[in-house]
Amino acid sequence: MAGTLGYSLGYDWIFYLVCFFAVASAAVVNFINPADIDHELARGGEDRDANGQVGAPLAFGELLNRRDLVIFLISIILFHFGNAAMLPMAGQVLAQAHPGSDTIALSACIIAAQLIMVGAAWAVGKAMAAGVGRKPIFLIALAILPVRGVLFSFTANPYGVVAIQLLDGVAAGIFGVISTIIAADLMRSTGRFNFAQGLVALSTGLGAASSNLCSGFVVQSFGYTIGFITLASIAAGGLIFFALLMPETKPEEGIGSTSALTLHPAPQSLPES
C-alpha cells in the first residue's frame, strides 16, 4: 500500500498512511475489555497466597543479578550486533555495482523477508507446542546469521541479495517469538516481565547501534567483504556464547507450553564478586 500510494500520489501519502493506521490501531485497542486483563498475572506475578493476594515484585537489583537473564541479554546484543548492518551494507554494495537497481532490490528484500518471517513465526509456535525447547530454536536463528554474512560477502547480484535476505526472514521470525517466550520463562513468578521486555528492547538497540558503528569503520578501512566477514564472526561468537552458557528455559511442567504463567524454578544468580 505504501509503495502504491507513493508511486501514484507522491511520497507524502506514505506518511498519511502511517497516520491512518496509527489511529486505526488505537481505535481497535479500545475494543479490549479492561476487565479481561489480570495485570498482575500479565507481568508474571502469578504467585498468590491463600487470600488471593500477589506478592511484591522482585527487587530490580536482585533481578539484574540473575545469571540466566544476563546471559540472555548479552546473546541478544550479539545477535543484533551481527545482524543489523548486513542489509544496509548489502544495499550499499548494490548501489555501487548496479546503480538504480538498489531501491527495487531492497524493497524486494524487505517484502520477501517479511513473508518468510510470518511462516517462521508460525513454525516456532508449532515447534514449541510439540515440545521443542526454547534453546535449540534460538540456536537456529543464531546459526543463520554467520551463514548469511558469508554469503553476502560473495555476491553483488540483486537476485542473489534478495535470496540471501530470505534467511533474515527466518532468523527475525524466530527471534520475534522466542525472545518473548524466553523472557517470560525467566521472569516467571517475579512480576517483572514488562521490565524484562524493556531490557530486551534496550539490548536490541545496543546491538543494532554497535553493528552499524563497527561495520562502518571496518568497511571504510577494509571494504565490504571484510565488513560482512566481521559481522559473520561476531554472529558466530554469539552462537557459541549462547550454546555454551544459556540453559534451557522451558518449564518442566506442561511440556510444550508457551505460557508465561507456568511455575518454574528461579534462574541462577550471578556469583558474588
Task: Convert the pLDDT of each residue in 215-252 to its tens digit.
Answer: 999 999 999 999 999 999 999 999 999 999 999 999 87
Query: Does the CA dihedral 61-65-66-69 come out positive or negative?
Result: positive
Coil, strand, or helix at residue 46?
coil
Residue 29 CB contacts under 8 Å (≥ 6 apart), including other chains: none
The answer to whether 44 and 188 are in contact (CB under 8 A) is: yes
- Rounded to whole angstroms, the Cα distance separating 55 from 265 reads 16
> What is the structure's pLDDT at 50?
56
Give CA separation, 197 vs 91, 200, 201, in Å: 31, 5, 6
Q: What are phi and psi of 66, to 5 degrees?
A: -80, 120
> What is the structure's pLDDT at 268?
41
Task: Convert the pLDDT of each residue in 89-134 to its tens digit.
Answer: 988 888 887 776 666 777 788 888 899 999 999 999 999 999 999 9
What is the pTM assigned to this prediction? 0.80
Residue type for position 90 = A
Task: Convert the pLDDT of each residue in 38-74 to its tens digit.
Answer: 877 777 766 555 555 666 777 888 888 889 999 999 9
> What is the structure's pLDDT at 102?
61
The answer to whether 259 and 186 are in contact (CB under 8 A) is: no
Residue 155 clears pLDDT 90, i.e. is over it: no
Residue 79 CB contacts under 8 Å (≥ 6 apart), including other chains: 141, 142, 145, 175, 207, 235, 238
Task: Convert the pLDDT of each residue in 4-22 to its tens digit.
Answer: 787 788 878 889 999 999 9
Task: Convert the pLDDT of each residue in 179-191 to its tens digit.
Answer: 999 999 998 878 8
**Three-class secondary structure assignment of 206-221:** HHHHHHHHHHHHHHHH
Residue type for position 35 = A
The answer to whether 128 and 258 are in contact (CB under 8 A) is: yes
Structure confidence at residue 265 as a pLDDT band (50, 70, 90): very low
Give CA separation, 67 vs 145, 261, 266, in Å: 25, 21, 11
Structure confidence at residue 264 as a pLDDT band (50, 70, 90): very low
